[in-house]
């Protein structure tokens, strides 16, 4: 199993969408929210995606398709 940590930024029009839930069901990945800050107008999350490497890549592409920004996290958030 592979693991990848990403920083996700939500635009205002996607704040209320269950994007993390959807990714967990649409792809064979486990989502683990490590940190987050969401308000009515902005939101971000640090998420760990666990699964096969190909599925993680597909999930990241799916997140981008849903309109959220995805950036890799180079450092450990919480071990």
CATH class of 2-72: alpha beta
Quick one: tokens of 51? Answer: 């699964």
Extents of the domains making up the chain: 2-72
Please spell the DSSP secondary structure of 22-37, one letter per residue.
HHHHHSSEEEEEEEEE
Q: How confident is the model at residue 32 (pLDDT cuts 50, 70, 90)?
A: very high
SS percent in the chain: helix, strand, coil, step 5: 30, 40, 30
Q: How confident is the model at residue 40 (pLDDT cuts 50, 70, 90)?
A: confident
CA distance 26 to 51: 13
Do 29 and 56 touch, CB atoms closer than 8 A? yes
Q: How confident is the model at residue 75 (pLDDT cuts 50, 70, 90)?
A: low
Q: What is the pLDDT of residue 74?
A: 77
Q: Indicate the pTM of the whole model.
A: 0.87
């Amino acid at each position: 199993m592979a693991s990848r940590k990403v920083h996700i930024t939500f635009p205002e029009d996607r704040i209320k969408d269950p994007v993390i839930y959807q990714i967990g069901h649409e792809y064979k990945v486990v989502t683990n929210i490590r940190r987050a800050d969401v308000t009515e107008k902005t939101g971000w999350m640090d998420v760990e995606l666990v699964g096969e490497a190909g599925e993680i890549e597909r999930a990241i592409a799916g997140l981008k398709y849903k309109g959220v920004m995805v950036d890799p996290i180079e450092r450990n958030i919480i071990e």
